Structure 1
Amino acid sequence: MSDIIQDDPEMPEDGLNESAEPLRRAIGERYLTYALSTIMHRALPDARDGLKPVHRRILYAMSRLKLASSGGFLKSAKISGDTMGDFHPHGDAAIYDAMARLAQDFSVRYPLVDGQGNFGNIDGDNPAASRYTEARMTKVAEAMLEGLNEDSVDFRDNYDGRLTEPAVLPATFPNLLANGSSGIAVGMATNIPPHNIAELCDACLHLIKTPDARDETLLNYVPGPDFPTGGVIVEPRESILETYQTGRGAFRLRCKWEVEDLGRGTWQIVVTEIPYQVQKSKLIEKIAEAIQLKKIPILGDVRDESAEDIRLIIEPKSKNVDPDILMNALFKNSDLEIRFNLNMNVLIDGVTPKVCSLKEVLRAFLDHRRDVLQRRSTYRMGQIDKRLDVLKGYIIAFLNLDRVIEIIRNEDDPKAVMLAEDWGDGVYLNEPQAEAILNMRLRSLRRLEEMELKREHDELLEERKGLEELLADEGLQWGRISDQLKETKKTFGKAYDGGLRRTQFSEAVEVEDVPIEAMIEREPITVVCSEMGWVRAMSGHIALDKELKFKDGDGPRFMFHAETTDRLLVFGANGRFYTVPASSLPGGRGMGEPLRLMIDLPNDAEIVDFFIHQPDRKLLVASTAGDGFVVPESDVLAQTRTGKQVLNVRGDVTALTCKSIEGDSVACVGENRKVLIFGVDELPEMGRGKGVRLQKYKDGGLSDVRTFNREEGLTWLDPAGRTRTEIELDEWAGKRAGAGRMAPRGFPRDNKFT
């Protein structure tokens, strides 16, 4: 292997290393070749016609098959097969997928392919196999190919040199912005949204009149994308302007919805348009998942009533819910609102990748149209010159018709004789003229009238003069392009099927930050959590000593009365607090669900406490090492399921207890059965930390802690289950971090106050 990567290796005896080079250079050159191929021939569209090679080749293959928009359909398998065999030597499945997308009116703003059969749907279903579907070009595709046979663009050899293919299409239609494009190359990508053709034509016309037009002015003509699936853009105008100026940015796109009154105060939300590239089936699944996991407690149900049009029904949990608040919650938790990123990375002149502004892309299209106009005009002048030359020959033949007939009837090589013949005043026929006369049908002789020939001759001279003036005057050229753009706007604008703007603009409705809990119906529940962490909410306030069913080997641990509007706090042995809305708990039927599915509590962390959140309360948290502090309960609320770290623990130390502050004194008992009492004011109030030492131990750690009022005494349950109160506590009183003294006689053997 060392011989292979040397800079100048000798030829090995086995002859395997015929050409050696450094490994870094070999890999670098090959990867660069691959990267350039991906960028130029696969992923990025051409700024002139807005097409990638595969789409261009599909349309060219369809034009060769004469699949006009007014003609018949042809099997998709034939189209993809011809494209693959003649121009695009890749998988037929990839070619068919590309062609099918061009036929999907929910994917492409102005379809280039007219499909017959199952070409997929907005639910995300794939098209039928190519042998079952048929296709032909649309009028838009024909506009893309207009003038292709008039030397309007360059042609290049296909992959095997048998045929030629266009390097770019003439494109009288601004396809890049009208239909958009997306692709991922090597080290770069592109993502361009579709736009409205009438607005693009207006912007191009303004750019022709004012070449140095400002981006702000162009925004008056092209206010934003126009997606095939409609929707509502809620992006501010300033943001849209910056996006078009830089070629990079994003658009906030929402669904279109309305409130439908069902009578008696009830209502439902009807979604009629969903954001671009969002699959309806997956959207409904995500909303249904949010209902199941109770991420949006005020959301009742979702169902699909769509037929040909979109109709999604969203039902609130209660008629008291505000529709705007419900939709704002859905915008945050589903794809009813998306951000469509714009990255206008295109190939300038089919060679150089560049991130362009809106103005630069429009200018590239206009420059291409001018180049096509010049080439078509030059081609037409050449055709006129050829026809004029033939007409001169026809006139000579008409004036000498008898001699022409005589030569054709009597001579073995009439062409040579006609070329050598002097037709008067030193006039001779050239080879094309003689060929045209010989190829003329006999029945054409009756129409060979001198006046008719001269009329055609004069008309062609007039046309040629106009073309010469056009090629010599840049102003006339832009005038002709303006006329073409106006015709394009007329053809594909408002009168065209689907030509009206579909995507609307609006401002994002700023709803006051009303807690969702405020709209939840207030109902009594009994929260039950088992020793293994299975939680459920029983309807109503049932007796807390009622026997309930649990899984085998499991039993009750936490059971308390609450309401559906409450927020519950879970304190884990890892020192984190987790917040669980009471309304999100599963119902009382069955055994409930594991609490760990609702919060990200590690499997090795036990549940220390589970209780109702009271914002104005303070908590004492402590670890097994005997460290602790006071924390306001309002500071422990977590916004995410990952919880909020409050008590820092490390190694074998875990969170031990969480008690509400109820009194002026703190009582600690260690595993050594020593009790220490000190004032609550000796503990710091913190938001997070390890805390301070509560009690000092030689061996073991903290067993329990509680707060109480010194005047009322310290109570506990003795071994017989009787409540005992100790008033004289001076023997155990001391300063924080002291060792304490042995517990009073009759103190519980488990070293717990309760």
Structure 2
Amino acid sequence: MSDSKNAAAEMRVTPLAEALSERYLAYAMSTITSRSLPDVRDGLKPVHRRLLHAMRELKLNPDSGFKKCARIVGDVMGKYHPHGDQAIYDAMVRLAQEFAVRYPLVDGQGNFGNVDGDNAAAMRYTEARLTEVAQALLNGIDENAVDFRPTYDGEGEEPVVLPAAFPNLLANGASGIAVGMATNIPPHNAGELCEALQHLIKFPNAGMEKLVELVPGPDFPTGGVLCESREAILEAYSTGKGGFRVRARWEVEKLKGGTWQIVVTEIPYQVQKSKLIERIAELIANRKIAILSDIRDESAEDVRIVLEPKSRNVEPEMLMESLFRQTDLENRISLNMNVLADRGRVPRVMDLREVLKAFLEHRQDVLVRRSEHRKAQIERRLEILDGYLICYLNLDEVIRIIRFEDHPKQELIKTFSLTEIQADAILNMRLRSLRRLEEMEIRKEHDSLTEELNGLIALLGDEEMQWKKISSEIGEMKKKFGKNTELGRRRTEIGEAPSAVVVPLEAMIEKEPITVVCSEKGWVRAMKGHLADFGEIKYKEGDGPRWAIHAQTTDKILFLSTNGRFYTVGADKLPGGRGHGEPLRLMVDLPNEHDLVSLFVHDPERKILVASSDGRGFVTSEKDVVAQTRNGKQVLNVSGRVTAKLCYPVVGDMVAIIGQNRRMLVFPISEIPEMGRGRGVILQKYRDGGISDLRIFKNEDGLTWKSGDRVRTVTDVTDWLGKRAQAGRMPPPGFPRNNRFA
């Protein structure tokens, strides 16, 4: 009964929303600070920091032997990181991949994956040790350089942050997704970062433009060419957010007979080579890049992708531009410098200058802590050496006290004013240490340590000296990992932003003659070749012919609907002519209550005349009616029972129009205004009915129409000549009864 009362007393009534909010906030903060975001000081997430610390404890130094990755992962999981072994191993594998990390922190032996996207071997087959870069991150960790905290089970301790003599955050970059925020920092060149850090030490108020001049952009492990404008790069580093466009590096290889081929030697960062090649092969198979004949992967340890053009007359730049637009040969790497600042407590977006300053502040903190630690060690050792020297000066008395006194320690302290530490050191001395040579060594050590102690005291009391020391340490890093080393040489070329190269459609689609066929019920298809006899075309039962035009696969086909909207479909997107095609409504968003009015091949240099059923219309440029979406583009405004009725190219200077009332009017086309969109102006006035047909013609050629199998021409149209919007007169004798010109 008492237990139930205690349980009831511990219960707390809380609204569900409040309880969920508290718990989710705790989870979110844990994810942000303990898993997903790197610390601005050492650029590491907890899993990476624990990996390096565990490997150091296993004494896996760069000059030692390798150990099985399974052993390392087991230590990390058991002592520091209570998560799955595969997650730990995946993090370790990435730190060893030269194509994923600019400056690898793990030296891997065995199969650690490749740029094709193949996975690493199981951890029981691979071995690892630390690299020189990782050693630089850990240097000084035993000298009280950083704080330690209890591990998850309280049985051990782990570092809160690493001393980080190497600018790892920007040098190796980082990426991660937390709750409500993410980070993505591309890798940079360590030599350039060291130069910027030294400049910032010398000029603490250095401007962003100077820093970006020293750090001109990312340096990816896979190389490539950075194609971004100086302004965009400066903006990205100034705000901590932006992006960088990276292109593959390529060259033209000359072959026999004046032919050539393109060889891609470097691909953009984080692009899998196998998927890239599959994508290009797919474009070739689908004839999306007509000027490219074949692709071959001749890569060994290096990247070598061979592209064969169909013709040597093709411009290599044009071919590559089309590939850049359609494949991952051009990739965009985002920048979001969202990191843990203020000693790893607060996540925020920092700019380049803030990140560099945070690293320098950390290095100052590490320097002070290591100096104080070394100072304490020297003072302790000097205390002992002072005791030894007293012993040598009074050797006979010391020996007598030790031999004959019942309590030699207290007697030594009393007689020579020693400390307990000094007395213990004298009592623990070996007899061989009493020789004269040993006394000289102690005096030499004492002088050396005294000089070092004075230097440390001066260093701790002078901030200017501290920054000189830090600058010297950064200089050592630059010498060790800078541009003059194989590891540190810049791999990504800083290029210019690409100019607006116009890639014609023909460069992406193979140009072939086709016949575009549209039936009465709106079924569309593209038949190979230019058919001479349209009568041979077959249709579905209950359907029949409506339009059949000659075109090329590179053309755009325009459709005008009764709702006044133009729809655009690429000729290469039309279904083949083996069947009956597909309904146009599956390709564009044409409402069921509307029908097609006209179909023609797009000519961007041409103008067209559109007219509605009530006899209104206008002239418009054909390039302005091309639709970019399935929804089409509204050009002719209609409402109620009025619909779009006619659409003809402007190929003359006169317009002949006839209404359903069998009245014909001829007037100059110059009387019709040119518009982009609208209802238009009245072309012909009707008392009853509406427009039936119109014809645009040259006055010098006369007006023609088709009557049965005959074509008739009227050269003198004076009897029907008038002004726009008039009613007109009866057509010439023999004009078709359906009031149509064709």
Q: Fold conserved (TM > 0.5)?
A: yes
Deviation of residue 628 (structure 1)? 4.5
Deviation of residue 372 (structure 1)? 0.8
Match of 2:420 among 411, 427, 430: 430
The aligned amino acid for 1:474 is: E
SS of structure 2 residue aligned to 1:169: coil
2:558 corresponds to:
569
1:207-254 superposed Cα distances (whole Å, 9 cap, x missing partner): 222223233333332222211111112323343333333333333322
1:228 corresponds to:
221
State the distance in 1 between where 2:681 and 2:427 align. 113
1:136 corresponds to:
129
The aligned amino acid for 2:85 is: D
Is the 1:677–1:734 Cα contact (8 Å) retained in structure 2? no
Is the 2:261–2:306 Cα contact (8 Å) retained in structure 1? yes
| Aligned ranges 1:140-539 → 2 under 5 Å | 140-291=133-284, 296-348=289-341, 349-392=343-386, 417-422=407-412, 425-427=415-417, 430=420, 434=424, 437-438=427-428, 449-494=438-483, 496-510=485-499, 513=502, 515=504, 517=506, 525-529=513-517, 531=519, 533-536=523-526, 538-539=528-529
1:93 corresponds to:
86
SS of structure 1 residue aligned to 2:415: coil
Is the 2:148–2:158 Cα contact (8 Å) retained in structure 1? yes
Deviation of residue 179 (structure 1)? 0.9
Deviation of residue 74 (structure 1)? 2.9
Distance 1:118 1:558, change over 3 A: farther
1:7 corresponds to:
none
Query: What root-mean-square deviation, in Å, do the aligned CA atoms of Structure 1 and Structure 2 show?
Result: 4.6
Distance 1:119 1:655, change over 3 A: farther
Between stretches 723-732 and 491-500, larger displacement belongs to 723-732
1:6 corresponds to:
none
Distance 1:728 1:135, change over 3 A: same
Deviation of residue 677 (structure 1)? 3.2
Length-normalised TM-score, structure 1: 0.82
Deviation of residue 327 (structure 1)? 2.7
Match of 1:547 among 536, 549, 555: 536
Match of 2:105 among 100, 112, 120: 112
State the distance in 1 between where 2:580 and 2:92 align. 50
State the distance in 1 between where 2:725 and 2:205 align. 78
Q: Which runs of 5 or more structure 1 residues have no equivalent in the other structure?
A: 1-10
1:67 corresponds to:
60
1:678 corresponds to:
665
SS of structure 2 residue aligned to 1:536: strand
Between stretches 347-356 and 299-308, larger displacement belongs to 299-308
Distance 1:158 1:480, change over 3 A: same
1:646 corresponds to:
635
Between stretches 308-317 and 642-651, larger displacement belongs to 642-651
Same amino acid, percent of matched pairs: 53
Aligned residues: 728
State the distance in 1 between where 2:644 and 2:120 align. 57
Between stretches 93-102 and 138-147, larger displacement belongs to 93-102
Deviation of residue 497 (structure 1)? 3.7
State the distance in 1 between where 2:294 and 2:677 align. 40
1:693-742 superposed Cα distances (whole Å, 9 cap, x missing partner): 7789999x879533266996674555xx7778899998999985979999
Between stretches 429-438 and 330-339, larger displacement belongs to 429-438
Deviation of residue 195 (structure 1)? 1.2
Q: Which runs of 5 or more structure 2 residues have no equivalent in the other structure?
A: none
State the distance in 2 between where 1:267 and 1:606 align. 51
The aligned amino acid for 2:474 is: L
1:610 counterpart = 2:603: no
State the distance in 2 between where 1:445 and 1:207 align. 53
SS of structure 2 residue aligned to 1:268: strand
State the distance in 2 between where 1:707 and 1:72 align. 90
The aligned amino acid for 1:367 is: E
Deviation of residue 296 (structure 1)? 4.7
The aligned amino acid for 2:440 is: M
1:332-352 superposed Cα distances (whole Å, 9 cap, x missing partner): 333333333322232222123
Deviation of residue 99 (structure 1)? 2.0
1:438-462 superposed Cα distances (whole Å, 9 cap, x missing partner): 5x77887889933333333333223
